[in-house]
Amino acid sequence: MLCTSCGVLVGVNDATCYNCGRRNPGLWGWAPAVRSLGSDLGFTPFIIGACCAIYVLSWALSGAPFGGMLAPSSLVLNYLGMSGAIPVYVQGQWLTLLTAGWLHGSLLHVGFNMFGVYQLLPSVAELYGPGRTVIIYTIAGVAGFFLSSTIKWLAPGLPFLGAYYTVGASASIFGLIGAAAYYGARSGSRLASSQAWSYGISMGVYSFILGGGMVDNAAHIGGFAGGYLAGRLLDPLKPERIDHLAIAAACLLASVGAIAPRIIAAIIAVAR
């Protein structure tokens, strides 16, 4: 069968891949099933499906308003775990650094972000492997919301940077761009580097043009920096290891474990 990391032929019970050095490359015979999920092991459809489902739920819990951009209410988003200077530093809700990336403020917001995930995540998974991509995505989201919350808390008068309340997957999306930019620098690929930087800069300029009232620029900057640094620590030119997949599973469990109780609590609160 094929090694789950590099794709060369290996034995079912081989201890290591002779080509890339990955341990247990055949995954005890489960490698074909794992590879059938794609280079991202199904992480892309999971993110898109979960974010869309949570958006619909937040919209429904808000009374399914049809005005404007089909935006969920701030009260419901607060129940579900939106981040920002007030939730983090005033309310002490540090787990919102993990939950806010699953939430979105309008139909247009979730649509644009999920299109970004669809475009970028599989490509980054091809460069880093699925486990490291999950780690990058998670770290970038936390870094983005932490920077946004901290800037707004320390310098509330600073224009276009930071937010009192913030949601969205864009911090993690910028993290994917940052990881791709590091891959270009590490591998010497001018094409990968130039595409990543041009994509990131163009999106950043567009964000600043829209202004801080609509876009969390600090979260984007923090997400990009977090993704770049995570990419550097994980080194895309080395084969992905089993421990990367274990850390990725821990990241997913932490994120799901943070948002799931919030969803239950929001449903109970609205029902009352």
Domains of the chain in sequence order: 1-36 (no CATH), 40-271 (1.20.1540.10)
pLDDT value at 151 more than 50: yes
| Mean pLDDT computed over 220-233 | 94
164, 219 in Cβ contact below 8 A? no
pLDDT of residue 27: 55
Q: What is the per-residue pLDDT across 155-191, written as a single tens digit (0 to 9) for each?
A: 988 777 888 999 999 999 999 999 999 988 888 766 6
Mean pLDDT is highest, among 68-77, 98-107, 149-158, 197-206, for 98-107
pLDDT value at 103 more than 80: yes
Token duo for residue 137: 């995505």
More confidently predicted of 98 and 211: 98
pLDDT value at 250 more than 50: yes
Mean pLDDT is highest, among 25-34, 37-46, 149-158, 239-248, for 149-158
Dihedral of alpha carbons 37, 42, 48, 52, sign = positive
d(CA 4, CA 31): 6
